[in-house]
Structure formats: C-alpha cells, structure tokens
Amino acid sequence: MDAVVELEPQTVFSLAGLVYLLLALGAGMHVVLNKQNEGAAFSWLGVIVLSPLLGALLYWLFGINRIRRRARAGRPDGAYRLPPHRDAELDVDRLLPDALLDEFAPRWRQLMRLGAAIHPEAYTSGNALELLQNGDEAYPRMLAAIDGARETVRLSSYIFSNDVIGQRFVDALARASERGVEVRVLIDGVGISYGLGWIRVDRALRRRGVNTVRFLSTFSTSGTRFLNLRNHRKILLVDGTLAFVGGLNIRDHNLLALGGRHATRDVHFAVRGPVLAQIDRTFRDDWRFAAKERLAAAPVPAPVPAEEGCVDARVLLDGPDEDYAKLQMTMVAVINAARQRIGIVTPYFLPDRSVLNALQLAALRGVRIDVVVPAINNLPFVGWAMQANDWKLLDYGIRLHESPSPFDHSKLFLVDDLWCLIGSSNWDARSLELNFEINLECYDVAFNACVSRLIAARLRGARQVTGDVRPSLPIRLRNNFFRLFSPYL
C-alpha cells in the first residue's frame, strides 16, 4: 500500500504564500510594463497586493486589455503597424489622391493628411450612403439583400437574438447557404447571450447548415482571458457590392412598430462603392482571427455614378489591438478642426479627458456643440455616471440635450458642413479602448446635410439640460460614485 505524504500546515501555508507571491509579482510586473495610465496602474497594483490570489485573477480577466490579432493571424502586409506616424515606410500621399485633395479647403486637406497618418487606410471617392432609421427600415433591406445574394454573405453582429426578427435572418441566411452562397456569420461571444431563450442563435444557424463562429467565446480556453474585449462591429456585406453598417443589432427591440418597454431607436446605413473593399477586409480579418479560416477578398467595387453618390469615405477602425486609440486621436483632431458646429448623438457619453478637453476648448473658441443623449438610459449606472459629468459640459457652453423614450441607440458625429462619422462606436471607454469597432469617416456636403437633418430632428424632440436645478446630495453622491467606474462601464 502506497504511503500517503502528509504536509505540515506550516508547509501548506508556505507553498500558498509562494504561489501568491509569484502570481502577484508576475501580475505586478505586467502592470508596470504595460499600463500607460498611471492612475489605472496604481489601482491595479493595489488590487493585486491587497487581494491575495483574487487580485491577480481579476487582473488576468479584466486588466489585460490589449491583444495583437493581426500578428497572431500572420498578416503579411504592414498596413497596420502601430503607431503609424513612426512608420518610415508609410506613404501618406498614396492614401490621399491629388484629385481628392483638390476638392477641399486647406484645413480639410490638412485634416485628411493627419487622418491618414493616424490610421493608414486610403480615402476612396465615389461612394453612396443611404440613411436607414430603425429596424423598420433597415431589416427589410438587409433581408432582401441576403435573399438576392449570389456569391457571398458576410455578417458580423454584436447582438443577434433568437427572437422573431432573428429567426427571419436565420431563415434568410439558411436559404442563401442552401442555394450555394458562401455564408459566414460572426457573433460576439458575450453579445450572443443577450436576451431570453435557451437556444442561442449560432446553434440555430448551425442546425440549418450555416457556417458561424463566436468572437472570443466567454468560456473557451483561448477567450476567457479576454472576456472584457468585445467585437462591437455590425457588418452585413453581400456579394462585395452592398454593405450595411451602423449601430443596429439584430433583435426585436429595434422594430419600433412592435413597441414595448425595450423599444430602441437606431440608425444604420446602406453603403455602395469602393469603400466596401475596406469593410470586406475588416470582416475577413475578424473571421480569420475567430475561425482560423482565410476568406478570399471580394473584388473592389467601381465608384457609383455621380448622380447616385459622391461621398469620399474610408473605414476607421478602433480596438484593443493594432488599431488602439486611432479613433480617439482622430476625434480629437477633428474637434480641433471644427469652426462652426459639432453635433453628437450617442447613447453613452463618457469620453476620456483628452476628448472632453478638446470639446471644451472648441466651445470656448465659439464652436456650437450639441450633445444628444437619452433621458433614461438602458444602463442606469451609466446614465448616473453621465449625469455626474453634466457640469463639465454646461460650464463651458456645450449644449446638452436629453431625448425622450424610446431609448436612442444612434451614433452620429458631425462637424461643420463637410465631415461626419457613422458606425458602431459610442463615446465611452468601452468603445474607445476595449471594443473592436468599425466606423466610416465621410467627407461630403450632401451627406452631411442628411445627417444634419436627422440630428436637428433629434434636437427638436429633446429637452435641453440647463443645470439650473442642483441635484440633491444623495443623487450627487450616487452619480459621482458611478463616475469613478467610467473607464469600466
């Protein structure tokens, strides 16, 4: 009979202490070497030291917020080196055709050059963008595009619920796959859990023969470490000739005709033109990372006829990988370029200090700034944190407006009469630092006027916050307590 080795309690405690010390030292070294924000670094060091074992585990799960996706995927080209402005091989002029630059005033040309240095994606001419409001307008167009697909359907969504509208998308995707179309569906590993029901939509898709994967599945061996990093992009690309991007998830809440307590307003955009090649590459990169499958690139579409659209646009990505902070730097640059007005519609407005300071300075130099947020947030603690920052806007002359129900999930950013940004990004740390996002940076007077009309409609229906009534002490304490968690909300 084998002898059983019994360890003295003192030995057990010594081994546990050694394990704790090694974990704490490893996590602490990672914090010191990688955390660029001094406040966040000291906070994590405190958690690691004061919470034996638990602190290191929490840091492993939530504190490591950067990955190198393209390096892991073996991307051969160097188009995404970080930071781009230090890349001696970057040819900014290649990204800015002379014919395109000649269209704009000097300050816009300067902004485009800066934008190309921040994020080396080429500006493309001859694109058409159509604004679609809510799922009532967008979903029928998206379903019709899937039903008309002949070669490829590439769909990426943060939330894809297995509800009534979700099942209609499942049916359309399954029909496309059955008639020989190459269908690929990418769903975020956390977003897929939104909503009720035991059967997740990826299972329903696989049962119908549709190729689908989860992006960083929460409990996988490879994804658990990065459960704080989510793919927030919304992309539908059909045959490489028509795309839909914006803030719209796939769920019944976005159908206002259904009504209900969770009804959600949103905007989406139908896109045609050469910029689709950049949208396609974004999906293919995400798919290769999640599914380990390399998809063939769709042909670059020709510019649309001038009478159908003349938007100069490019994809502007953001994420905790090689695209880290590119959107944030672009936002600061554009705010600094503003001369007359800035219009912002967003469900979550918790920008970091650099973006907020740029807005404050713009307001001080006479730029009219209107920020539209929901009066009642779908995430109460985020709404409370936002209210704690009201004075940082009002004291500088920034106009804050609260839109009534239904909850407005729209994301619009407009500057003067020429530039706007559409896509999936919110104005909070999660979008600017943690999530993988896709946006389109657009230059066009006519398209800007279209977006401006939508923002004006939002303003007409909203209530302007004046700050005349000071909240009670308990309300201020609540709001400022949740403000402390702004980087993590």
CATH value at residue 460: 3.30.870.10
What span, in angstroms and rounded, lies between the C-alpha atoms of 488 and 229?
11
Instruction: Please give the tally of structural domains in the chain.
Output: 3
Band of pLDDT at residue 91, cut at 50, 70 and 90: low
| pLDDT band at 84; cut points 50, 70, 90 | very low
pLDDT the model gives residue 45: 77
Confidence of residue 56 (pLDDT cuts 50, 70, 90): confident
Quickly list DSSP for 366-429: T-EEEEEEESS-SSHHHHHHHHHTHHHHHTTT-EEEEE-SSEE---EEEETTTEEEEES--BSH
Confidence of residue 13 (pLDDT cuts 50, 70, 90): low
Instruction: Report the percentage of the chain scoring pLDDT > 70.
Output: 81
Q: What is the pLDDT of residue 386?
A: 93
Average pLDDT, the chain: 85
pLDDT of residue 409: 96
> Is the model more confident about 472 or about 48?
472
Structure-model confidence comparison of residues 99 and 209, the more confident one: 209
Both 376 and 405 in one domain: the answer is yes
* Separation between Cα atoms, residue 254 and residue 289, nearest integer Å: 29
Residues 6+ apart with CB under 8 A from 184: 152, 153, 154, 155, 211, 212, 283, 287, 291, 295
DSSP 17-59: HHHHHHHHHHHHHHHHHH---HHHHHHHHHHHHHSTTHHHHHI
Per-residue pLDDT, 281: 96
Q: Is 332 a member of any domain?
A: yes
Q: Which long-range contacts (CB under 8 A, 24 or more apart) does 19-27 make?
A: 19/53, 20/52, 20/53, 23/53, 23/56, 24/48, 24/49, 24/52, 24/55, 24/56, 26/56, 27/55, 27/56, 27/59, 27/60, 27/63
- Taken in order 467, 472, 473, 476, the sign of the CA dihedral is negative
Position 149 pLDDT exceeds 60: yes
Distance, in Å, from the CA atom of 335 to the CA atom of 328, rounded to the nearest integer, reads 11
- Tell the residue number behind the tokens 């977006």, with chain if given: 451
Separation between Cα atoms, residue 428 and residue 45, nearest integer Å: 24
Q: Is 325 left (phi over 0), alpha (psi -120 to 50) or beta?
A: left
**pTM score:** 0.86
Q: Give the domain-ending residue among 46, 63, 80.
A: 63
Domain of residue 22 covers: 9-63
Asked, for residue 87, whether it belongs to a domain, the answer is no
Looking at the domain assignment, is residue 72 inside a domain?
Answer: no
> Does any domain span residue 244?
yes
148 and 294: one domain?
yes
pLDDT in tens, 345-382: 999 999 989 999 999 999 999 999 999 999 999 999 99
253 and 136, same structural domain? yes
Last residue of a domain, one of 42, 63, 84: 63
Does 112 map to a domain?
A: no
